[in-house]
Structure 1
Amino acid sequence: MIHHNLALTLPVEVHTQILAHARAKYPHECCGLLVGTSARLNDKLLEVKQSIAATNHAAAADQRSAYAIDSRFWLQQDRLAAATGLKVLGIYHSHPDHPAVPSATDLRLAWPVYVYLIVSVGPAGTTALRGWILNPAENQFVEVAVRTLHQ
């Protein structure tokens, strides 16, 4: 099911950076923050302006199927974004050798105020990038339309 009242846009450069990060970290999960603005009534359009690659702080043995972003890094990036009129809109991460759909771990750790971009990546490269947001009333993810803006 796609969330019909919410859309996410990102410049082709950001899309390319996220995919490159996923390929570079394969077979481990990559992760990072999505920074931008929310527009329209009730934040129905999320406009990603930049992606900020983060170090995966999950235990080394878990990095093929998990990610963790350092809270101090997150707070620092949130403050830098706010100083320029932007905000952290969400998180991106990769699923090595798995589809770009949320896992049970993703569901357990998700916050409903953020959008999640998931990249499917394998030995041949990236195959999909999909957006998701948590519906807390049903405790499940709903897909968000993602549109890449070509300049």
Structure 2
Amino acid sequence: MLVIKRDVIEKIKEQAERDYPYETCGLLLGRTEGNKRIALEAFETPNANPDRKHDRYEIAPKDYMRAEDYAISKGLEIIGVYHSHPDHPDRPSEFDRQRAFPDLSYIILSVQKGKVSSYRSWELIGDKFEEEEVEVIE
């Protein structure tokens, strides 16, 4: 289960709309408590994919390390990844599955004609994604 602060999901939605028609991306920072991942901050990263920003995202290793250093400085950890699907549904693609790691939440936002229409969170269980419950808190 993913628990996310309202201001964090709003920041992610604004970023996805701003970066449309390209995929946006970033990392969720927070902590894990039992079977809950609690997202307290969104760490925006540039989409480092040089050729297919309209339908692929890539987080550069240096940006991942910057996020990890920042999280540690705040007593947090990387608990997930987010990205958008411009003019496509909020479910993971095969490309997303191939690049995913277990024990992280993956928020995917569907951005239709420049506006976020929906979002869902997923986790990799074995070799497939399963949707996870999302609870938005103040």
Task: Give the TM-score band, short-chain normalised.
Answer: over 0.9
Residue in 1 that maps onto 2:108: 118
Q: Percent identity?
A: 30
The letter of the residue matching 1:145 is: E
Spell out, residue by residue over 1:59-91, the C-alpha distance to the aligned partner (whole angstroms, 9 max, x if none): 2x3001000111111112112212222100010
User: Is the Cα–Cα contact under 8 Å of residues 27 and 122 in structure 1 kept in the other structure?
Assistant: no
Matched, 1:57 2:45: no
Spell out, residue by residue over 1:40-75, the C-alpha distance to the aligned partner (whole angstroms, 9 max, x if none): 3xxx0111000011100002x300100011111111
Return closer, same or farther for 1:124/1:81 CA change in 2, 3 Å cut-off.
Answer: closer
For residue 106 of structure 1, give the secondary structure of its aligned residue in structure 2.
helix
For residues 72 and 22 of structure 1, the distance between their equivalents in structure 2, rounded to whole angstroms, comes to 21
The answer for unaligned runs of 5 or more in structure 1 is 1-6
Shift of 1:131: 0.4
The answer for unaligned runs of 5 or more in structure 2 is none
Tell me which of 36, 40, 61 is aligned to 1:45.
36
Tell me which of 2, 14, 18 is aligned to 1:8.
2
For residue 57 of structure 1, give the secondary structure of its aligned residue in structure 2.
coil
Residue in 2 that maps onto 1:96: 86
For residues 107 and 23 of structure 2, the distance between their equivalents in structure 1, rounded to whole angstroms, comes to 13
Shift of 1:124: 5.0
Matched, 1:145 2:133: yes
For residues 121 and 29 of structure 2, the distance between their equivalents in structure 1, rounded to whole angstroms, comes to 14
Aligned positions, number:
138
User: Is the Cα–Cα contact under 8 Å of residues 20 and 114 in structure 2 kept in the other structure?
Assistant: no
For residues 66 and 103 of structure 2, the distance between their equivalents in structure 1, rounded to whole angstroms, comes to 18
For residue 62 of structure 1, give the secondary structure of its aligned residue in structure 2.
coil
CA RMSD of aligned residues (A): 1.0
TM-score (norm 2): 0.96
TM-score (norm 1): 0.88
User: Is the Cα–Cα contact under 8 Å of residues 21 and 114 in structure 2 kept in the other structure?
Assistant: no
